[in-house]
Structure 1
Amino acid sequence: MPSKRFSARTLDANALKSFAHPLRLRIYELLEEHGPSTATRLAALLGQNTGATSYHLRELSRHGMIEVAAGMGRGKEKYWRVVQGGFAFDEPQADAEAASALEFLLDDVVRRRGAELARWREEAAEAPEEWVEVGSLGRRSLRLTPEETAGLRDEVFEVLEKYRQVSDRRQYDSSDSSAAAPDPSVGHVVVHFDVLPVVTRDGG
Structure 2
Amino acid sequence: MAEKKQSRSKVELTDPRALRAYAHPTRMTLAGLLRREGPLTATRAAELTGESVASCSYHLRILAKYGLVEEDDPGGPGREKPWRATAEYTGWPGYSEDPAVAEAANALTLAVAENHFHRMTRALEARRELPPEWQEAERFTDVTLYLTPQELTELGERIDALVARYADRGSDPSLRPEGARRVPYLQIAYVAPEPEPPAREEEP
TM-score, normalized by the shorter chain, greater than 0.5: yes
Counterpart selection for 1:106 from 105, 109, 128: 109
Residues 70-104 of structure 1: per-residue CA shift (max 9 Å, x gap): 7xxxx6433334344312112436253x4443233
Corresponding residue for residue 43 of structure 1: 46
Local SS of the residue matching 2:98: coil
Cα pair 1:64 1:83 within 8 Å, conserved? yes
Matched residues in 1 for 2:87 and 2:133: separation? 27
The corresponding residue for 1:4 is: none
Which residue of the other structure, out of 6, 9, 12, is the alignment partner of 2:11?
9
TM-score by length of 2: 0.71
Deviations 1:149-203 (A, max 9, x none): 21101111222233223322338x9xxxxxxxx9873322100111122241679
TM-score (norm 1): 0.71
The correspondence of residues 73-152 of structure 1 with structure 2, limited to 5 A, is 76=77, 77-90=80-93, 91-92=95-96, 94=98, 96=100, 98-152=101-155
> Is residue 170 of structure 1 aligned with residue 173 of structure 2?
yes
> For residue 177 of structure 1, what is the aligned residue in structure 2?
none
Shift of 1:36: 4.4
Cα deviation, residue 123, structure 1: 1.3
SS at match of 1:151: helix
In structure 2, what is the equivalent of residue 189 of structure 1?
183
Structure 1: distance between partners of 2:19 and 2:161: 25
Unaligned runs of 5+ in 1: 1-6, 174-181
The total of aligned residue pairs comes to: 183
C-alpha displacement of 1:134: 2.5
Deviation of 1:33 (Å): 6.3
Aligned with residue 153 of structure 1, among 148, 152, 156: 156
User: In the alignment, is the contact (CA less than 8 A) between 1:20 and 1:102 conserved in 2?
Assistant: no
Q: Contact between 1:17 and 1:101, CA under 8 Å: does it hold in 2? A: yes
Q: CA RMSD in A?
A: 3.3
Does the Cα contact within 8 Å between 1:33 and 1:188 map onto a contact in 2? no
Partner AA of 1:147 in structure 2:
Q
- What is the DSSP-based 3-state SS (H/G/I as helix, E as strand, rest coil) of the residue aligned with 2:169? helix
Q: 1:43 Cα deviation (Å)?
A: 3.4
d(CA) in 2 for partners of 1:154 and 1:58?
Answer: 34
In 2, are the aligned partners of 1:85 and 1:164 still within 8 Å (CA)? no
Equivalent position SS for 1:163: coil
Separation in structure 2 between the aligned mates of residue 69 and residue 164 of structure 1, nearest angstrom: 23
Q: Quick one: distance in 2 between partners of 1:117 and 1:22?
A: 15
Q: Work out the CA distance in 2 between the residues paired with 1:33 and 1:85.
A: 9
